């Protein structure tokens, strides 16, 4: 295996390198060595951007569902919860995504799960993805 020929650098349209493509055989050799680095990179705490997210403001502005918006968030994985994620002490949940279609995505600070609230016309569907070990 020749590193010069097997490693591919993936660049955007401006020529800035965004990723590196490794052959599987090489990945199997380096993966154990970089697992710690990968865990450290994902251990960076998620912070709520200051001020309300514009997409969340739009979500509330266009609210026309048959029920009132409820800011309570609950994590089914670790049972963390708060009555209002926007003002809860210590910010147990960080809003990471929102759209006017009714989707709100939160990051649970307690366990790292992703909690999704899918707002439909007459109900809310709750989903979550546990953190990867």
Q: Phi/psi at 114 (nearest 5 deg)?
A: -100, 125
Domain boundaries, the chain: 3-42, 54-129
pLDDT digits (tens, 9 = 90+) for 77-86: 999 999 999 9
Query: How far is residue 98 CA from its own chain's centroid?
Result: 11
Strand ranges inside the chain, DSSP E: 8-11, 17-21, 73-74, 81-82, 93-98, 103-108, 114-119, 124-129
Q: What is the mean pLDDT of the chain?
A: 85
pLDDT digits (tens, 9 = 90+) for 93-108: 999 889 989 999 999 9
Is 93 or 1 the better-scoring residue by pLDDT? 93
């Amino acid at each position: 295996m020749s590193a010069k020929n097997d490693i591919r650098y993936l660049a955007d349209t401006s020529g800035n390198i965004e990723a590196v493509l490794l052959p599987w055989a090489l990945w199997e050799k380096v993966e154990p060595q970089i697992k710690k680095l990968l865990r450290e990179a994902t251990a960076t705490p998620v912070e709520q951007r200051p001020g309300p997210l514009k997409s969340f403001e739009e979500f509330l502005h266009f609210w026309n569902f048959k029920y009132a918006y409820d800011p309570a968030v609950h994590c089914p994985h670790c049972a963390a919860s708060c009555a209002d994620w926007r003002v809860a002490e210590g910010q147990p949940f960080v809003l990471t995504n929102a759209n006017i279609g009714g989707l709100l995505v939160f990051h649970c600070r307690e366990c790292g799960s992703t909690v999704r609230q899918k707002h439909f016309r007459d109900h809310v569907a709750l989903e979550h993805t546990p953190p990867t070990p």
